[in-house]
Amino acid sequence: MTFDQAMFSIYERAKREASYNASIFLRMLTDNGGIQTARTLINATKPSDGYTALYEKGRLDLTVEALVLENQIWHELFTLDELKRAKTRLQQYGYGFPA
């Protein structure tokens, strides 16, 4: 699976499992690709509306931040600062990382 495919997968899962239609996220993916979309969202000064919606639904596991952090094969696509930013955001929202 490519990173773009993984990003489209969390879009589909959010729609199916959390009844959240992330239309802006889908447009970003289509226009900019997965890596640029992830960088944009991770580097934003505040969480996106989609992140907040998934938090409210108890599904932070479907966020870009979780996708990037939880599978080490994606780590090489991002800077250490971006990985740290993603982890900090998830921790601030009480995300329980899988063991």
Q: Write down the pLDDT at residue 96.
A: 87
Q: d(Cα 27, Cα 54) in Å, to the nearest integer?
A: 18
97 belongs to a structural domain: no
- Residue 86 located in a structural domain: yes
Domain boundaries, position 49: 3-92
Residue 11: which residues within 8 A CB-CB, separation 6 or more?
Answer: 22, 25, 26, 29
Please indicate, yes or no, if residue 56 is contained in any of the structural domains. yes
Residue 25 lies in a domain: yes
pLDDT for res 97: 76
Within a domain: residue 59?
yes
Q: For residues 99 and 97, what is the distance between their CA atoms, to the nearest angstrom?
A: 6
Q: Is residue 19 part of a domain?
A: yes
Burial-class residue 18 by CB neighbours within 10 Å (0-12, 13-18, 19+): middle
**Total structural domains within the chain:** 1
Please report the pLDDT score of residue 88 as a whole number: 96
Task: Tell me the pLDDT of the chain (99 aa) as tens digits.
Answer: 999 999 999 999 999 999 999 999 999 999 999 999 999 999 999 999 999 999 999 999 999 999 999 999 999 999 999 999 999 999 999 998 776
State the pLDDT at residue 98: 73
Domain membership of residue 98 (yes or no) is no
**Could you tell me if residue 99 is inside a domain?**
no
